[in-house]
Amino acid sequence: MPENALVFLHDNLEAGQYAKLAAVDNPEVHEFVAGQIALCRPDSVFVCDDSAQDVEYLRRAARDRGEEIALALEGHTAHFDSCYDQGRDKKNTRLMVPPGTRLGGDINTIEQGPAREELSRLMAGLMQGREMIVRFFCLGPTSSPFSIPCIQITDSAYVAHSEDLLYRKGYEEFRRQGSSARIFRFIHCTGAVDERKTCIDIKDRRVYIDCLGRTVYSVNTQYGGNTIGLKKLAMRLAIFRAEQEGWLTEHMLLMGVHGPGGRKTWVAGAYPSMCGKTSTAMIPSETMVGDDIAYLRALDGVVRAVNVEAGMFGIIQGINAVDDPIIWDVLHTPGHQLIFSNVLISDGKPHWIDMGTPLPPHGHNHSGAWTPESLGPDGKKVPPSHPNARFTLALSDLKNTDVEALENPGGILVRALVYGGRDSDTWVPVQQAFGWEHGIIAKAASLESETTAATLGKEGVREFNPMSNIDFLSVPIGRYVGMNLEFGEHLTTPPGIFGVNYFIRDRQGKFLNQRTDKVVWLKWIELRVHGDVKARRTPTGFIPLHEDLEKLFADALGKPYSLQDYEAQFMLRIPENLAKIDRIVKTYRESVPDTPARLYEVLEEERQRLLSAREQLGDYVSPERFPVE
The set of catalytic residues is: 275
Cα atoms in the Cβ-side hemisphere of radius 13 Å centred on 65: 20
**Residue 138, amino acid:** C
CB atoms within 10 A of CB 87: 14
Q: Nearest to residue 537, comparing CAs of 416, 429, 433?
A: 433
Cα atoms in the Cβ-side hemisphere of radius 13 Å centred on 204: 17
Give CA separation, 125 vs 119, 384, 548, 618, in Å: 12, 36, 65, 70
Cβ-contact 359, 339 below 8 angstroms: no
Give CA separation, 218 vs 153, 185, 207, 383, in Å: 10, 11, 4, 28
CB atoms within 10 A of CB 373: 7
The single-letter DSSP state of residue 587 is H
Return d(Cα 39, Cα 194) in angstroms, integer. Answer: 23
CB atoms within 10 A of CB 577: 24
Return d(Cα 61, Cα 493) in angstroms, integer. Answer: 50
Name 64's Cβ contacts closer than 8 Å, sequence gap at least 6. none
State the pairing for strand pair 390-394/338-341: antiparallel
Distance of CA 37 to the CA centre of its chain: 31
Return d(Cα 329, Cα 543) in angstroms, integer. Answer: 36
477-488 vs 232-245: helix axis angle to the nearest 10?
Answer: 60
Return d(Cα 60, Cα 55) in angstroms, integer. Answer: 9
- In three-state form (DSSP H/G/I as H, E/B as E, the rest C), the secondary structure along 461-509 is CEEECHHHCHHHCCCCHHHHHHHHHHHHCCCCCCCEEEEECCCCECCCC
SS3 assignment, position 290: strand
Q: What is the DSSP string of 208-225?
A: EEETTTTEEEEES---HH
What is the Cα gyration radius of the chain? Answer: 25
157-166 vs 52-64: helix axis angle to the nearest 10?
Answer: 130
Give CA separation, 19 vs 6, 23, 47, in Å: 11, 6, 9
Distance of CA 516 to the CA centre of its chain: 22
**Residue 286, amino acid:** E
Cβ-contact 313, 167 below 8 angstroms: no
Max intra-chain CA distance, the chain? 82
The single-letter DSSP state of residue 183 is -
End-to-end CA distance of the chain: 66
Residue 581 — left, alpha, or beta (φ > 0 → left; ψ -120 to 50 → alpha)?
A: alpha
